[in-house]
């Protein structure tokens, strides 16, 4: 049985149009780094473990809601902007079809296509208004109007993954341990693991991606720990 072009495309390429991977990765990394650094900051200030847990849980809830709302709003705004550009291009195609066809042909000629062939294809595309609109949008804006990410998918992915990431450095406190350094170590393992998992989608070396994320998170944690330490010493003094 011969596979269709759509089936071949699905078999050879990952789905990069659904809008879930970027917010999921961003949410998980942000949740990890934010709460590890937050716990390091208040822990460095010398507060009690109970206060650390309260701070971490508050950071988890507030951050997850903020990430979800932010992702929804940003993706929704981008989709609405694209819709406005599509409407504008549709009007241009209706009012000036010949000029738009010449513009499309010129774009293809600039990429090396023979002028006669470019004009022939552009005129053929013009005969189908819906396809002409899609082609013009792809050529002029570099996006496919039929493959817009879902704001709800982005919001849920970000909220869920932020929550999971933010929970990791709290795990040791939640099971009864009170060591700040143990919590930070578990958070470090979470950072490395998250970076390694991302490499699965980007075809990069897992240990390079994991180490990079660990070092970036460690830098943020060190800064907030020192700030918390300095403020804690100043308050005690």
Please provide the DSSP assignment of the chain as one string: -PPPHHHHHHHHS---SSS-HHHHHHHHHHHHHHHHHHHHHHHHTT--HHHHHHHHHHHHHHHHHHHHHHHHHHHHHHHHHHHHHHHHHHHHHHH-HHHHHHHHHHHHHHTT--HHHHHHHHHHHHTSHHHHHHHHHHHHHSS-TT-PPPHHHHHHHHHHHHHHHHHGGGHHHHTT---HHHHHHHHHHHHHHHHHHHHHHHT--HHHHHHHHHHHHHHHHHHHHHHHHHHHHHHH-
pLDDT, position 210: 95
pLDDT, average across residues 16-38: 87
Residues 6+ apart with CB under 8 A from 220: 33, 36, 37
pTM greater than 0.75 (yes/no): yes
Q: Report the pLDDT averaged over residues 97-102.
A: 93
Residue 12 has pLDDT above 80, yes or no: no
pLDDT at 1: 46
Q: Where are the domains positioned within the chain?
A: 20-232
| Mean pLDDT in residue range 110-115 | 93
């Amino acid at each position: 049985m011969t596979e269709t072009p759509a089936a071949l495309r699905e078999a050879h390429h990952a789905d990069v149009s659904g809008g879930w991977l970027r917010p999921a990765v961003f949410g998980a990394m942000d949740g990890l780094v934010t709460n590890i650094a937050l716990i390091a900051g208040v822990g460095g200030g010398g507060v009690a473990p109970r206060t650390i847990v309260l701070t971490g849980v508050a950071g988890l809830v507030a951050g997850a809601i903020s990430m979800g709302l932010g992702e929804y709003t940003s993706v929704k705004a981008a989709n609405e902007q694209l819709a406005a550009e599509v409407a504008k291009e549709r009007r241009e195609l209706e009012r000036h079809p010949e000029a738009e066809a010449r513009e499309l042909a010129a774009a293809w000629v600039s990429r090396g296509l023979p002028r006669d062939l470019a004009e022939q294809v552009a005129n053929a595309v013009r005969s189908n208004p819906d396809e002409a609109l899609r082609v013009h949008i792809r050529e002029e804006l570099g996006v496919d109007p039929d493959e817009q990410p879902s704001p709800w998918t982005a919001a849920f992915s970000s909220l869920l993954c932020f929550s999971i990431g933010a929970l990791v450095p709290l795990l040791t406190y939640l099971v009864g341990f009170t060591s700040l350094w143990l919590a930070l170590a578990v958070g470090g393992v979470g950072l490395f693991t998250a970076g390694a998992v991302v490499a699965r989608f980007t075809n990069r070396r897992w240990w390079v991606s994991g180490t990079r994320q660990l070092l970036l998170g460690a830098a943020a944690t060190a800064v907030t720990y020192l700030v918390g330490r300095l403020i804690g010493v100043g308050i005690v003094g």
